[in-house]
Amino acid sequence: MNSEFGSFLTKLCNFLAALEDAAAELRQQIVELASIPEWDMKNIKWEPAEGPSGPYERSEDVNSRDFKALLKELAMHGGKMRVGDFFMWTFKNGTVIGRKKCGSKADDPFQHMQNSIKSLKRAGERFEGAATNKGNGK
């Protein structure tokens, strides 16, 4: 490979690293601005239920502080969101929350993007190392 291509890959990796840093900073700012309430799913009473798409769990635990905080966060996400291995949503009445187990967190698009960026960084580092060794006659 020529040095122009190596320079291009180095610049691309630097750009992606800066993009990753900017995304992390932006995500942190969004969390702070939105003042997302803290809650623990384990402190909410869940009941098994069956729907058209199969089994799920639901909660109407309106006396729980955690339930109220989760309901508020769901509202901030348009009534549905993914948390760990669960897809969660609010029902139309706005006082019932549903949750259904889904794929692992590795399926999360943001996590996938981070993994892709890390792979590109490693490839760029290997390329830089190979180009340096080739230039030194090794």
Q: Could you give the CA distance from residue 120 to residue 5 in angstroms, rounded to a whole number?
A: 14
Task: Determine the Cα–Cα distance for residues 101 and 92; give it in Å rounded to an integer.
Answer: 20
Look at residue 91 and tell me whether its pLDDT is greater than 50.
Answer: yes
Higher pLDDT, 59 or 30: 59
- The domain spans of the chain are 1-35, 38-109
- For residue 131, pLDDT beyond 60: no
pLDDT at 34 over 70: no
pLDDT band at residue 2 under the 50/70/90 scheme: confident
What is the pLDDT at residue 81?
92
pTM for the full model? 0.51
Length in residues, the chain: 138
In tens, the pLDDT along 49-66 reads 999 989 999 999 989 999
